[in-house]
Amino acid sequence: MNKLASILLIIATCVLVSSCRKSGCTNPNAVNYSASAKVDDGSCICLSASAATPYNLKIPASFQRFLPPPVFPVDNPMTVEGVALGKKLFFDKRLSDDLSLACASCHLPSQSFDDTSRFSVGINGIAGTRNAMPLFNHAWNITNKFFWDGRAVGLEEQALEPVTNVIEMHDTWINVTSKISSDATYRTMFTNAFGSLPIDSNLITKAIAQYERTLISGNTRIDAYSLRLIGLTPSELSGLNLFMDENGADCFHCHGDVTNPLWTDNSFRNNGLDSVFADSGLASITGNPIDVGKFKTPSLRNLIYTAPYMHDGRFSTLDEVIDHYSEGLVNSPSIDVDMKNISTNGARLTSQEKSDLKAFLLALTDTTFVTAH
């Protein structure tokens, strides 16, 4: 056989082998992806991200009256498809290494997306050192800082860490991405939400963040009162007056008033829990001694569901929280300037005043929120 014939035979053999390999769509993000296809035949159907349907956020009337519209990241607009995908991911235990823990495992819808344990427990039964924070109204967090110590900037970054945290989900993003990408339903949902972009941690956390921005609590007796739709009971009204009085409970500096339906300023404060802090809070992120013992101010909504309280869950009941601000404040170098009753260790409320303050706080309960999810 001459040299030319040998070359022709090799080419023919290669063509024959190639033709025997199954062709089809090899793009895993395409709607018609074929896992068995070895040769891409150009048939892939990838939807454009622009085909996703804009999501109309349902904003409560009290928010519309008192708050500016929420601002979303320009690279993660809210879409119907993105929210649906984020919800599925939020409840999916495949985000954890042993398939036992989802985001919803520590953020229970029935508890206003909070945890009932003092310290949230990860996949290996190991408890952390902080109580999980509830998830609602984060679309209006203008500081854009999340977690008790503010270490995450944006909801997308907040959703990134738990997957790789050695105490929480204890997995890798490479592994999680592989599990999610192998699911045909997920491939279709990602394509519908984000187009033909490859599935990765960036898109997964974007979808989860979109879903979390839909978690809005704004239907309480106090919301109706702020809209002048109802009146408060004498005890609730007395509690509100105490809340707003610097010579009373003096709560409004950190938590606002009826014109701030978030009931938090989303800042970081030392609220007199300890004289020496084993957990330095915000200072662990900033490195600034003045931030020692400062933790994110939580919302006062849905307190009936979100026990235990404080960053370390030290208070089991709302009565214990009120007692802390009444006679349990502890001084320290970084104590917040708005803890004006520190010299007397608290506001020194009477039993009736404590009862009235509690009545007002319980009027911030949104039962429809916990039953809607």
Residue owning tokens 């454009």? 48
Write out the residue range of the structural domain in which residue 12 sits: 3-46
Reading the block at residue 365, the tokens are 């309960």
Amino acid at 313: G
Shortest CA distance to 215 belongs to which of 148, 149, 120, 134? 134
Asked if 54 and 201 sit in the same domain, the reply is yes
The pLDDT assigned to 19 comes to 42
What is the pTM for the complete model shown?
0.86
The pLDDT assigned to 11 comes to 44
Interval 256-292: pLDDT, tens: 999 999 999 999 999 999 999 999 999 999 999 999 9
- For residues 46 and 195, the answer to whether their CB atoms sit within 8 Å is yes
The pLDDT assigned to 194 comes to 97
Asked if 189 and 295 sit in the same domain, the reply is no
Question: Tell me, what CATH number does 91's domain have?
Answer: 1.10.760.10
Rounded CA-CA distance 19/148 in Å is: 59
Q: Find all residues with CB under 8 Å of 340, minimum gap 6, and list them.
A: 246, 250
The pLDDT assigned to 20 comes to 46
The pLDDT assigned to 18 comes to 42
The CA–CA distances, whole Å, from 174 to 61, 97, 177, 188 equal 42, 11, 5, 20
pLDDT < 50 regions, the chain? 7-20, 47
Asked if 190 and 268 sit in the same domain, the reply is no
- For residues 85 and 283, the answer to whether their CB atoms sit within 8 Å is no
Q: How many domains does the chain have?
A: 3
Phi/psi for 273 (5° steps) reads -80, -40
**What is the sign of the dihedral through the CA atoms of 190, 176, 146 and 101?**
positive
Asked if 166 and 256 sit in the same domain, the reply is no
Asked if 196 and 287 sit in the same domain, the reply is no
Rounded CA-CA distance 128/66 in Å is: 37
Asked if 33 and 62 sit in the same domain, the reply is no
The pLDDT assigned to 241 comes to 98
Asked if 42 and 55 sit in the same domain, the reply is no
Rounded CA-CA distance 266/297 in Å is: 6
Q: Which of 189, 213, 237 is the last residue of a domain?
A: 213
The CA–CA distances, whole Å, from 106 to 43, 103, 124, 337 equal 42, 6, 14, 33
Interval 30-81: pLDDT, tens: 657 787 888 878 777 654 555 899 999 999 999 999 999 998 999 999 999 9
Asked if 68 and 187 sit in the same domain, the reply is yes
Asked if 236 and 205 sit in the same domain, the reply is no
Rounded CA-CA distance 99/332 in Å is: 43
Asked if 199 and 280 sit in the same domain, the reply is no
The pLDDT assigned to 234 comes to 98
The pLDDT assigned to 38 comes to 80
Rounded CA-CA distance 316/255 in Å is: 20
Rounded CA-CA distance 79/173 in Å is: 24
Phi-psi label, residue 22: left if phi above 0, alpha if psi -120 to 50, beta otherwise:
beta
Asked if 31 and 101 sit in the same domain, the reply is no
The pLDDT assigned to 51 comes to 86
Asked if 246 and 194 sit in the same domain, the reply is no
